[in-house]
C-alpha cells in the first residue's frame, strides 16, 4: 500500500484545484486574453489564473516557503531552505493552439536540491509524482525508466528552438548526430511531460537546451526517483542554472551525452 507524504498531498491537491479553471479555459481557448512576453513566447489569462490558485494553495499549506514562478517571478519566503518552482502551464503554445499536451508543474527545492515533484496532465488525469527516497508514481502505479540499452531501439524527445530563440544551428547539429542512431525522435512541446514520459519508460531519453528552471524542476525528481540519470550537457548537476538537460536510463545517458558533445564540437 503506497503511503504518500503530507507534502505530496498538498502539492497534488493544489494541482488538482488549479486544473479545474485550466480545463475550463482550455475549452474556451479562443476567447482567452493572450499577450506576448517575447517573440513566440505567450502568456494567457489562463496561465495567470492557474498560477494564482497554485500560489494561494501552497502558501496556505506552507506559509514560509519561497516561490520561483514562471509568471510571478522570484518571491522570497521566511523559510530560506524551501522554495516552490512552478510552471502553471508547461506547454503554453500547445494549450493556446488546442493541442492537448500541456501540464501543471510543481517542484520543491530544499537547500538547493530538488526533493519533490508533481507534473499533472489534467486532460488525461495523469498525476506524475515523486519525492526523494520514496520513488516515482503515475497515479497509484510505481514508475521505472525504460530498460532499453540499444540506441537503435530508442525513442528520444527534445525541444526545437523557434522564432526569436537562439541555438538553431547547434540544435540542427545535435539532431543530425542523434537521429541517425535511434528508432525515433519526438517533439511534444512540454519539457515537464517529456521528463515524466522518461520516468514512465514511455520514452528512453530527453535532451534540450535553453529551458527555464520551472520547465524542468519537478521532472528532474521524477526521472531520478524512477531510476534514471539527469545531468547538464557537461555531465554535471547545474541543469537549473544552465538551462541544459540530458535525461535517460543508466545505459543510454552517457552515449547520448557523448553524441551531443560530439555534435557541439
Ligand atoms: C516550454 C517547454 C518546452 C520548450 C518550449 C517552452 P512553456 O515551456 O516546456 O520544452 O521547448 O520552448 O519553453 O513556455 O510552455 O512553459
CA angle in degrees (0–180, nearest 5) for 89-69-101: 15
Protein residue with least CA distance to atom 16, ligand 1: 90
Instruction: Spell out, as residue ranges, where the chain has pLDDT lower than 50.
Output: none
Ligand 1 centre to CA of 206 (Å) is: 13
Ligand 1 centre to CA of 32 (Å) is: 19
How much is the pLDDT for 1?
56
Q: Which residue from 126, 192, 184, 188 is spatially nearest to 160, judged by alpha carbons? A: 188
Q: Which residue from 50, 88, 83 is spatially nearest to 64, judged by alpha carbons? A: 83
**Which atom number of ligand 1 is nearest to the Cα of residue 95?**
15
Ligand 1 centre to CA of 90 (Å) is: 6
pTM for the model: 0.97
Q: What is the rounded CA–CA span in Å between residue 43 and residue 73? A: 13
Q: What is the rounded CA–CA span in Å between residue 123 and residue 26? A: 10
3-state secondary structure of 12: helix
Segment 131-146, tens digit of pLDDT: 999 999 999 999 999 9
Which residues 6+ apart lie within 8 Å of 100 measured at CB? Answer: 94, 123, 124
How much is the pLDDT for 70?
96
Show the ligand 1 pocket: residues with CB < 6 angstroms: 70, 87, 90-93, 159, 189-191, 208, 211, 215
Question: In Å, how far are 25, 46, 102, 221 from 32, measured between CA atoms?
Answer: 7, 7, 16, 32
Protein residue with least CA distance to atom 11, ligand 1: 159
How much is the pLDDT for 47?
93
How much is the pLDDT for 2?
65
Active-site amino acid positions = 70, 87, 89-90, 92, 215
How much is the pLDDT for 7?
95
Q: What is the rounded CA–CA span in Å between residue 131 and residue 137? A: 9
Ligand 1 centre to CA of 2 (Å) is: 32
Amino acid at each position: 500500500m503506497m503511503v504518500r507524504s503530507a507534502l505530496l498531498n498538498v502539492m497534488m491537491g493544489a494541482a488538482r484545484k488549479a486544473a479545474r479553471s485550466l480545463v475550463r479555459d482550455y475549452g474556451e481557448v479562443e476567447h482567452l486574453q493572450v499577450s506576448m512576453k517575447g517573440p513566440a513566447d505567450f502568456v494567457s489569462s489562463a496561465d495567470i489564473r492557474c498560477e494564482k490558485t497554485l500560489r494561494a494553495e501552497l502558501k496556505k499549506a506552507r506559509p514560509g516557503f519561497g516561490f520561483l514562478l514562471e509568471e510571478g517571478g522570484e518571491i522570497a519566503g521566511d523559510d530560506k531552505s524551501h522554495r516552490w518552482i512552478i510552471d502553471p502551464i508547461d506547454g503554453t503554445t500547445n494549450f493556446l493552439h488546442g493541442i492537448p499536451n500541456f501540464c501543471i508543474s510543481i517542484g520543491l527545492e530544499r537547500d538547493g536540491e530538488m526533493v519533490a515533484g508533481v507534473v499533472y496532465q489534467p486532460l488525461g488525469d495523469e498525476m506524475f509524482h515523486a519525492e526523494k527516497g520514496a520513488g516515482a508514481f503515475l497515479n497509484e502505479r510505481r514508475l521505472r525508466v525504460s530498460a532499453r540499452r540499444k540506441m537503435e531501439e530508442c525513442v528520444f524527445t527534445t525541444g526545437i528552438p523557434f522564432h526569436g530563440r537562439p541555438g538553431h544551428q547547434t540544435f540542427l547539429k545535435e539532431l543530425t548526430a542523434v537521429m541517425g542512431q535511434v528508432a525515433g525522435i519526438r517533439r511534444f512541446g512540454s519539457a515537464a511531460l517529456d521528463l515524466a514520459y522518461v520516468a514512465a519508460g514511455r520514452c528512453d531519453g530527453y535532451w534540450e537546451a535553453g529551458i527555464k528552471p520551472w520547465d524542468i524542476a519537478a521532472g528532474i525528481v521524477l526521472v531520478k526517483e524512477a531510476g534514471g540519470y539527469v545531468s547538464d550537457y557537461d555531465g554535471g548537476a547545474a541543469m537549473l542554472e544552465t538551462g541544459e538537460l540530458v535525461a535517460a536510463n543508466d545505459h543510454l545517458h552517457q552515449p547520448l551525452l557523448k553524441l551531443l558533445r560530439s555534435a557541439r564540437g
